[in-house]
Amino acid sequence: MNHRSIRKFKNIPLTTMQIEAIVRAAQMASSSRFMQAYSIIGLTDPALKHELSEITKTPYMEENGHLFIFCADLQRLTLMADEQEKQEMRIMLGSSALYPIAVTDTALAAQNAVLAAESLGLGAVIMGSVTQDIRWLDRMLSLPDYVVPLFGVAVGVPDQQPEIKPRLPLEAVYFENCYPSERDLQAHIQAYDDDMRHYYQNRSGNNRNACWSRSHIELLKLPIPLDDMTEYLHGKGLNLT
């Protein structure tokens, strides 16, 4: 309940024991059909980190902390198959049934990693921005077909203590037996917007006059080049049909 994303780390590298404990905790997450359909790549090469931090415009990614790149990975499942079996597996592996399993497995593993880091007294932030130039990252990490980078997790010794971000009221996310009316939900969201406006105006850094619902309405109106992502996934063998 004490979680907050940490984006500023002290210049203290993680020990091998800490890195392994975080990865082992990630591995203990539940896994759909026990496919364990993810891989985790520690990005330690300073030149790569530098380039990635420039692409994503996040200097703290380069400066400190250990950067884990979490990838959905359906390729490992094929490695012990012969060529004919690999052909037979292609349709299933590229289908829209399997990719969500890999994404879910990866997300659960990443959340376990964050919780493990926090329980070791470290701080962490999940970073979708590492995939801003997904083809570049794919090339740099030499990712084979069926392996797709989803996000990074930066972990380090915290050098900040940001305020905890208020969450939606419980009544806006937990319902018994059926989904509530729009009117009920809107009332809870209105109350939450007031909370969030107060939080954004008063937090210790990056103050702004904003609220939760309006920020997302504005964000979701923006055009996203989804075609490009679809093309990238198709190129990885993931037709998602």
Ligand X SMILES: Cc1cc2nc3c(=O)[nH]c(=O)nc-3n(C[C@H](O)[C@H](O)[C@H](O)COP(=O)(O)O)c2cc1C
Contacting range for ligand X; rule: CB under 6 A; set: 124-132, 173-181, 221-229, 232-240: 124-132
CB of 77 or CB of 113, closer to ligand X: 113
Residue 110 burial by Cβ neighbours in a 10 Å radius (0-12, 13-18, 19+): buried
By CB under 6 A, residue 69 contacts ligand X: no
CB of 4 or CB of 76, closer to ligand X: 4
- State which of positions 138-167 bind ligand X (CB under 6 A): 151, 165
CB of 70 or CB of 146, closer to ligand X: 70
By CB under 6 A, residue 125 contacts ligand X: yes
By CB under 6 A, residue 129 contacts ligand X: yes
By CB under 6 A, residue 216 contacts ligand X: no
Please report where in the chains the tokens 């996934």 appear, as a residue. 233
CB 7, CB 159: distance < 8 Å: no
Distances (CA, A) of 35 to 73, 106, 129, 149: 9, 11, 26, 17
Q: Which two tokens stand for residue 153?
A: 């997790």
CB of 7 or CB of 66, closer to ligand X: 7
Among 52, 126, 137, 148, binds ligand X (CB under 6 A): 126
Among 59, 100, 128, 166, binds ligand X (CB under 6 A): 128
CB 238, CB 144: distance < 8 Å: no
Distances (CA, A) of 82 to 76, 79, 156: 13, 8, 42
Q: How far is the CB of 121 from ligand X (least distance, A)?
A: 17
Among 3, 33, 139, 216, binds ligand X (CB under 6 A): 3
Between helix 16-27 and helix 99-119 the angle, nearest 10°, is 140
Calpha distance 194→119 (Å, rounded): 32
Which residues would be at the binding site for ligand X (CB under 6 A)? 3-5, 7, 125-129, 151, 165
